[in-house]
Structure 1
Amino acid sequence: MRLLLLSNSTNHASGYLEHAIETVTGFLAGARLTFVPYALANRDAYTAKVAGALEPHGVEVRGIHTAGDPVAAVAEAEAVFVGGGNTFRLLDTLQRLGLLDTLRRRAREGMPYMGASAGTNIAGPTIRTTNDMPIVEPTSFEALGLVPFQLNPHYLDADPDSTHRGETREQRLTEFLEENDVPVLGLREGTWLAVDDDAARIDGTAVSATAPGPAIVFSRAAGRREVSGDLSDLFTEARSGLGS
């Protein structure tokens, strides 16, 4: 597998994919890109935005929503990018169109798969660690399972000076672990996870100047720990149950 899983597509005061453009274009390596815009309602405008960011760098972009047979489009794709938006809407659409199995198979066969935000969420076993509101109801929360651990893009550290008394992101993920025995990788804004089979690496730079590092892992046994660089051991941990 070759995966590029971005926490976010746009940094503050930056253009779309600008903060990761060298990594993105290197990952795609000139492949014709099939873009999946189902996480947003205006699919034409979303595809045009992606094309505007990537085509000047030599990446041809086609929105899958324009294909007469979207399953065949994925089966024949050179590379796929699943964009961000609402994770529930994205998963629901992929389920209704019968795309999950083909997308999973192609990614596992080595087709480059790139995700951002919601597109990163669905690379995990389920979408139970998304931050999004359930504006639609998928038939299940089961996702692609390309990595054996849960993903939480846009991970946000609690502001110690905030007067907000609602649950923090860490508290919500702790609640998840009370009910689900699988590690969770929280990716801060500006960072991404690059996967080459079972070799995985955290790259990018967290936008927040006060963030301790690019990413954080939560597990039942080990609690929370800051991570950076090589993250290949998280595959072993998730599969062996050491995160329980």
Structure 2
Amino acid sequence: MILYPAIDLKDGNCVRLIRGDMEQSTVFSNSPDAQARAFQDAGCEWLHLVDLNGAFAGEPVNGAAVQAILAATDVPAQLGGGIRDMATIEMWLEKGIARVILGTVAVENPDLVRQAAKAFPGKVAVGIDARDGRVATKGWAEETDVMVTDLARSFEDAGVAAIIYTDINRDGAMQGPNVTATAALANAVDIPVIASGGVSSMADLVALRDCGAPLNGAISGRALYDGAIDLDAALALLRD
């Protein structure tokens, strides 16, 4: 299981939000590229990047910070936030992003997901962010009537590389991930699932690893910055 350290970008800084609230942000670094390099130097195999401003704007906003991260690191990075058309997908892949994450458009324009996944095999993931089992879009600001499992199953034949599942109520709250819902989703689809939201301790990583579902990985942010998860120990745990 892969540990994906999260670098959430707001106004050019590396921040963490609480439950997706842009008004409740904590700045952990004003040098996201240095933070990314530190994660790489610690042995992380992937980076998880989110353009928070872009998620609300519907277009890239923190592009300079993302490009600085790409220039400073060699490990693959996946990026979500404000990626809602083929031109933006192509732009980021050309600049070196290994995998784009499509969230809002997965609900509003699923044909784009299919088109992109076919055009760029292995480079398109779907981000499914939910409250109480229902998908939220536009930076989590708008809730829909779409159920998580229904949306995931609709992409079973699309060639999607991964599903990043985030329980919004757990994100940044340091209350542990929704292991039950994450495992249920991973067991319901053949697409690799990455857990996100609330991963705040070594025990959480163990619970996800041993949840009875074949999870691809787990994303953690605040716990790595706060020191609640020791990065070296976590990487060793998941390698074993």
**TM class by shorter-chain length?**
0.3 to 0.5
**More strand, by proportion:** 2
Provide the TM-score with structure 1 as the length reference: 0.40
Provide the TM-score with structure 2 as the length reference: 0.40
Query: Which protein shows a greater Rg?
Result: 1
